[in-house]
Amino acid sequence: MLKTLILSTTALAIGVSASAASDLSGMSWDDIVTQAKAEGELTWYVWYLQDDLRRAVKSFEDEYGIDVTIPEGTSAGNAEKLIAERNREVGDIDVFAWGYSDFETVDLAATFSPLKMLPADDGRVSELVGIDGGDFVLAYWGNQTGIAYDPAKVSADNLPQTPEEFAAFWSENPGKFGFNYEKGGSGPSFYQNTLRSLTGVDFSNGEISDGKLAKVEEGYGFFNDNAENYVVTASNADSIVRVSDGELWMVPAWEDHLAGLQKRGEVRSEIKFYIPEMGMNGGGNGIAIPNNAPHPAAAAVFVNWLTSADTQTMFNRDFGTAPMHAEADDSNALVPNDQRANRQPWAGQPFRKAVEESFIENVILER
């Protein structure tokens, strides 16, 4: 009898939780906060800087009395879990973080709950680099690739801005510029935007054709002809370490990655960052609540906190992110706002993958 009662109570709790996400839209925000505190916990699936983000959410936990669990995991692994359990009545994921462009790969309405229950806030960002999250996704982490450089070696008045100027720098300073082609997106951002600038191909369109790939291949000679003058690094991290150590003078990098390493004292604070006029990729990460979130009210309160001006200001200060709220303070960013006009959207899939495979075969393996 006791076992039957326990099972019945558990089933009732699960049923209430599963239906609560849709019911939140009819509740006042105060009632949602009250329910969130009663739920008392949530699980946030995010794949990067997990230890740092566990510390960052401590202020949320203190303010609301809601425990936040961030499991270990990768972006691909988290996405596989999201898809695998989306037909379950109740899943394990309360809040799901993903690269903003990745949200285009799923049916948003079939996968996530509308965020209409959140208090009105015109400062939030739901559209980023041409991708509209609609009522389902909000941006919370702005990132940008660019060029990290040692100002003791390279003058801010003489920074390369175009492929031709980068080639001139390589020729004048052989072995002092390096980029990665794998284990991080900063190097691919550099060579893909160089190819876009040289060939005029629309990388944002993910469609593949023989003619389009052949046009891109016309730009490979730029890299092959200059192969002796630049270095291929092992990863994002390897590039930054080598410029900090003085071996290299310029490398592609992520703004938030560089800022975080500098704040932790792992990279020299003197290293600077800029976005060249030819453009490099930027965008950000988004946040959403799965339809079957086990703690939907707590998830809603967390998303509201995460996308607020105060939290976005904190992320800019502590992580060097580009704030994803119009009223946030971005004074700790590594680049001025006017340089963000040089931001380019990431290459569309499957075209991007095809270019990366072709670049490795025709440039990297030819060195």
Give the C-alpha separation, 244 to 149, whole Å. Answer: 9
If asked whether residues 361 and 255 sit together in one domain, one would say: yes
Give the C-alpha separation, 338 to 41, whole Å. Answer: 40
If asked whether residues 108 and 197 sit together in one domain, one would say: no
Specify the pLDDT at position 156. Answer: 96
- Whole-prediction pTM: 0.78
Q: Number of folded domains in the chain?
A: 2
Can you give the pLDDT of all 367 residues of the chain as single tens digits? 433 333 333 333 434 444 444 479 889 999 999 999 999 999 999 998 899 999 999 999 999 999 999 999 999 999 999 999 999 999 999 999 999 989 988 999 999 999 999 999 999 999 998 889 999 999 999 999 999 999 999 999 999 999 999 999 999 999 999 999 999 999 999 999 999 999 999 999 999 999 999 999 999 999 999 999 999 999 999 999 999 999 999 999 999 999 989 988 999 999 999 999 999 999 999 999 999 999 999 999 999 999 999 999 999 999 989 899 999 998 888 998 789 889 999 998 899 999 999 999 999 999 9
Specify the pLDDT at position 129. Answer: 80
Question: In sequence order, which residues have a C-beta less than 8 Å from that of residue 229 and are 6 or more positions away?
Answer: 170, 171, 174, 175, 177
Could you tell me the residue range of the domain that residue 42 belongs to? 2-142+284-319
Judge whether 327 lies within some domain: no
Judge whether 329 lies within some domain: no
Judge whether 325 lies within some domain: no
Judge whether 331 lies within some domain: no
CATH number of the domain where residue 16 is located: 3.40.190.10
Specify the pLDDT at position 264. Answer: 87
Judge whether 115 lies within some domain: yes
Specify the pLDDT at position 99. Answer: 92
Amino acid at 56: A
